[in-house]
């Protein structure tokens, strides 16, 4: 009967309730209680020494069941510890402590078996084991150092599973787990680094996931000192305001580190939601800095100690020359010849917008193609009575091309976040250019398709925004070709 209870309980716990820790513990509890009741009813008390008798079959059976009871009790207590950790929803980060507790429980069960099954005093055994422990400690000093360091790290909790840490040796990555000997770290290059616990216990650790998930990034920029530092700071702040991959809280900041006749050294600090997105956010910040500095007429200064000297710059550029310079820098109009740019530039009209002004309404048909010269524009899309920000436009980017090229209503609303300046090219002025340069229409169609896909991805979180781009761009190209009567297909 006792053997059947233990066998059924073990099989149910091992296979039926394998992924249900609380159910496992309840089954273990019922098994141990039932097994104990059967032993007590048969006159076998597990916590009393077995009477000394000859090695008869009865003595062997009683000893066997008492050993099973002690192991079953240890199994129950270890199951309780496991269920408690699972209930706290911290099974991975406390795996090491769970292993330590289980080891201590089973060692205690072994001493209980020696004392109450074999009726042997454990004081002498403990003394002998102490000498043995000293010998093993000297032989396994490094390994034991890792084990006890692991215990300290799990109790102190300087990091948890999933945290991103940086060790003073330069290693950085996400914590996978801590075991008896080492901590496993997944690095940025997707490699698994195994660091001994004793090294981590002595190292300086920076936890980028605490106290909050936001991670700070600092970059430096050297600018040509052609304007007052306050104006340069305003340009850099506008550039970061234009970024969509950085957090607004904590707010980004700009500080002037040094100023001389050669360069203005500026330090920019901003925050990202996760350390993994720091590289993409940094790339976006540099891109926006380049665009806004070019718009404001600020050049980047040469590095410290460089013999390179910047040529003199016209500090008051002619406003009438701005359209031509914009056409020179825009990749969309790269296929135009110098004469074609000179002919198109006078047809570009300068418009100034205050903060909050609406440049294009969603659903309206725009009569012109707009090119942002300075400032920040916010592109919004309304869906089911909810308006969401899709992206932000930076200097050098164009908008309104959907209506101009296809005659369809605009899918987005464009508003000025701060004071902005944009140049517009009317549809009738753009038509002859597209007739001679179909590649421009193809490039504008690709931009339309990408923005439409970004808008759809925002409204339907989790969808892959890249999938519809190619098909949509092809359909737009065909519609533009028909509308403007272009003879050659746009690749």
- pLDDT digits over 71-90, tens only? 888 877 877 776 666 555 45
* Residue 489 in domain: no
* Residue 49 in domain: yes
CA distance linking residue 475 with residue 75, whole number of Å: 67
Looking at the structure, do residues 94 and 157 belong to the same domain, yes or no? no
pTM for the whole structure: 0.65
Q: Would you say residue 491 has pLDDT above 50? A: no
* Average pLDDT for 17-42: 75
Q: What is the pLDDT of residue 484?
A: 56
Q: Give CA torsion, residues 203, 282, 416, 429, to 10 deg.
A: -170
Q: What is the pLDDT of residue 40?
A: 77
The DSSP element (H or E) to which 69 belongs, if any, is helix 57-87
Q: What is the pLDDT of residue 462?
A: 44
* Average pLDDT for 407-423: 89
CA distance linking residue 388 with residue 70, whole number of Å: 64
| Helical residues (DSSP H) of 297-395, grouped into ranges | 322-329, 338-344
Q: How confident is the model at residue 352 (pLDDT cuts 50, 70, 90)?
A: very high
Looking at the structure, do residues 416 and 395 belong to the same domain, yes or no? yes
Residue 387 β-bridge partners: 382
CATH code for the domain in which residue 196 is found? 2.30.30.60
The whole-angstrom distance between residue 279's C-alpha and the CA centroid of its chain comes to: 11
CATH code for the domain in which residue 292 is found? 3.30.70.100
* Residue 303 in domain: no
| Sign of the torsion angle spanned by Cα atoms 223, 224, 225, 231 | negative
Looking at the structure, do residues 175 and 247 belong to the same domain, yes or no? no
CA distance linking residue 75 with residue 457, whole number of Å: 51
Looking at the structure, do residues 455 and 326 belong to the same domain, yes or no? yes
* Residue 44 in domain: yes
Looking at the structure, do residues 19 and 134 belong to the same domain, yes or no? yes
Q: What is the pLDDT of residue 107?
A: 80
Among 289-293, 300-304, 310-314, 433-437, the range with the most confident prediction by mean pLDDT is 289-293
CATH code for the domain in which residue 389 is found? 2.60.120.10
Q: Of residues 137 and 272, which shows the higher confidence score? A: 272
C-alpha distance across the termini of the chain, in Å: 82
Q: Which one of 139, 162, 183 terminates a domain?
A: 139
Looking at the structure, do residues 369 and 479 belong to the same domain, yes or no? yes
Q: Of residues 398 and 121, which shows the higher confidence score? A: 398
Q: What is the pLDDT of residue 489?
A: 42
Total structural domains within the chain: 4
* Residue 308 in domain: no
CA distance linking residue 378 with residue 390, whole number of Å: 8
* Residue 302 in domain: no
* Average pLDDT for 37-64: 72
Looking at the structure, do residues 470 and 359 belong to the same domain, yes or no? yes
> CB of 94 within 8 A of CB of 85?
yes
Q: What is the pLDDT of residue 490?
A: 42
User: Which residues make Cβ contacts (< 8 Å) with residue 178, sequence separation at least 6?
Assistant: 93, 95, 96, 150, 153, 154, 161, 184, 197
CA distance linking residue 242 with residue 379, whole number of Å: 11
Counting residues of the chain whose pLDDT is more than 70, the rounded percentage is: 74
Q: What is the pLDDT of residue 463?
A: 46
Looking at the structure, do residues 35 and 128 belong to the same domain, yes or no? yes
Looking at the structure, do residues 268 and 371 belong to the same domain, yes or no? no
Mean pLDDT of the chain: 78
* Average pLDDT for 171-189: 85
Q: Which one of 190, 207, 224 terminates a domain?
A: 207
Q: Which one of 207, 223, 255 terminates a domain?
A: 207
pLDDT (tens digit per residue) in 110-119: 877 777 777 6
* Tally of CA atoms within 13 A in the half-sphere of 244 that contains its CB: 13
The closest alpha carbon to 444, from 404, 471, 413, belongs to 404
The whole-angstrom distance between residue 397's C-alpha and the CA centroid of its chain comes to: 28
Q: By residue range, what is the domain housing residue 231?
A: 215-296
> Alpha carbon of 358 to those of 136, 350, 362, 455: distances in Å?
78, 16, 10, 19
CA distance linking residue 298 with residue 305, whole number of Å: 20
Q: What is the pLDDT of residue 239?
A: 94
* Residue 399 in domain: yes
Looking at the structure, do residues 196 and 221 belong to the same domain, yes or no? no
Dig out the tokens for 359 from the structure.
């440049």
Dig out the tokens for 320 from the structure.
């009438």
CA distance linking residue 341 with residue 335, whole number of Å: 10
* Residue 223 in domain: yes
Looking at the structure, do residues 328 and 429 belong to the same domain, yes or no? yes
Looking at the structure, do residues 357 and 402 belong to the same domain, yes or no? yes
């Amino acid at each position: 009967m006792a053997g059947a209870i233990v066998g059924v309980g073990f099989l149910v716990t091992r296979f039926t309730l394998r992924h249900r820790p609380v159910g496992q513990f309840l089954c273990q509890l019922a098994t141990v209680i039932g097994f104990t009741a059967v032993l007590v009813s048969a006159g076998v008390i597990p916590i009393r020494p077995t009477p000394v008798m000859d090695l008869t079959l009865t003595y062997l059976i009683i000893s066997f069941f008492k050993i099973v009871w002690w192991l079953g009790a240890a199994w129950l207590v270890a199951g309780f510890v496991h269920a408690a950790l699972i209930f706290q929803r911290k099974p991975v980060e406390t795996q090491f402590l769970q292993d330590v507790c289980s080891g201590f429980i089973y060692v205690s069960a072994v001493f209980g078996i020696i004392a109450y099954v074999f009726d042997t005093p454990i004081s002498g055994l403990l003394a002998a084991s102490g000498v043995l422990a000293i010998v093993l400690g000297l032989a396994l000093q490094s390994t034991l150092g890792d084990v006890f360091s692991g215990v300290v790290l799990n109790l102190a909790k300087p990091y948890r599973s999933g945290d991103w840490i940086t060790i003073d040796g330069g290693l950085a990555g996400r914590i996978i787990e801590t075991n008896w000997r080492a901590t496993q770290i997944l690095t940025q290059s997707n490699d698994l680094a195994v660091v001994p616990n004793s090294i981590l216990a002595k190292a300086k650790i920076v936890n980028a996931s605490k106290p909050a998930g936001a991670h700070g990034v600092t970059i430096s920029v050297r600018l040509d000192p052609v304007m007052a530092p306050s104006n340069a700071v305003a340009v850099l702040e506008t550039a970061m305001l234009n970024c969509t991959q950085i957090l607004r809280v904590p707010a980004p900041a700009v500080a002037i580190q040094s100023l001389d006749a050669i360069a203005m050294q500026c330090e920019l600090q901003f925050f990202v939601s996760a350390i993994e997105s720091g590289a993409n956010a940094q790339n976006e910040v540099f891109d926006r800095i380049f665009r806004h500095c070019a718009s404001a007429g600020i050049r980047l200064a040469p590095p410290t100690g460089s013999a390179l000297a910047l040529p003199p710059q016209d500090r008051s550029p002619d406003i009438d020359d701005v359209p031509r310079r914009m056409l020179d820098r825009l990749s969309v109009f790269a296929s135009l010849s110098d004469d074609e740019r000179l002919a198109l530039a006078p047809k570009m009209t300068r418009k100034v917008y205050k903060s909050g002004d609406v440049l294009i309404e969603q659903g309206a048909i725009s009569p012109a193609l707009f090119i942002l010269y300075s400032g920040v524009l916010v592109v919004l899309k309304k869906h089911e009575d909810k308006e969401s920000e899709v992206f932000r436009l930076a200097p050098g980017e164009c908008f309104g091309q959907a209506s101009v090229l296809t005659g369809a209503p605009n899918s987005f609303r464009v508003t000025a976040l701060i004071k902005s300046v944009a140049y517009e090219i009317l549809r009738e002025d753009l038509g002859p250019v597209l007739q001679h340069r179909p590649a421009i229409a193809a490039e504008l169609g690709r931009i339309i398709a990408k923005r439409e896909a970004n808008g759809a991805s925002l409204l339907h979180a989790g969808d892959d925004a890249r999938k519809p781009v190619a098909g949509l761009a092809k359909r737009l190209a065909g519609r533009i070709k028909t509308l403007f009567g272009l003879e050659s297909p746009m690749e």
